[in-house]
Amino acid sequence: MTTHETNVTPVSLAEVKNILKKLSKERKELLYEQRIALEHAQKFSKLPLKKTQDLIKDLKKLEIIDDLYAYKIADLLPTSVGDVKTIFAKSRITLSENNIKKILEIVNKYFVE
């Protein structure tokens, strides 16, 4: 039995929304799954694409944040210490209070409720 390696690249909700909007203009009708994904992205994507990309870049500057967590944070936009801890709950990464504070400062720079 062989294993297949696949390159998986995270994508933010803002990017999904942008991709599916372009696709809907090219086609007459989106597939059912694509329509559901677009509705979800429109409902839960809180930042425009450019701001999301800038937020992800800033988050990745922190040594402790990898691509996957940068995208998760950009999609969820945590507003409290508890929110940040929840995002990292299943990981083996232990965040210091200082790192949590930095994450929240970066998020607050781009997103104000």
Tokens (6 digits) for 18? 């942008």
Total-model pTM: 0.87
Confidence tier at 1 by pLDDT (50, 70, 90): very low
> Domains of the chain (ranges plus CATH)?
13-44 (no CATH), 49-110 (1.10.150.80)
What is the percent of the chain with per-residue pLDDT over 90, rounded to a whole number?
82
Report the C-alpha gap between 64 and 96 in whole angstroms.
10
Give the C-alpha distances (Å, rounded to integers) separating 39 from 14, 33, 43: 12, 10, 6
pLDDT tens digits, one per residue of 29-87: 999 999 999 999 999 999 999 999 999 999 999 999 999 999 999 999 999 999 999 99
Of the candidates 88, 49, 82, 81, the residue with the CA atom closest to the CA atom of residue 65: 88
> How many angstroms separate the first and last alpha carbons of the chain?
50
**Which residues, 6+ apart, have CB-to-CB distance to 100 below 8 Å?**
81, 84, 85
Distance CA 38, CA 13 (A): 9
Q: In this predicted structure, what is the pLDDT of residue 95? A: 92
How many residues are recorded in the chain?
113
Which of residues 2 and 90 earns the better pLDDT score? 90
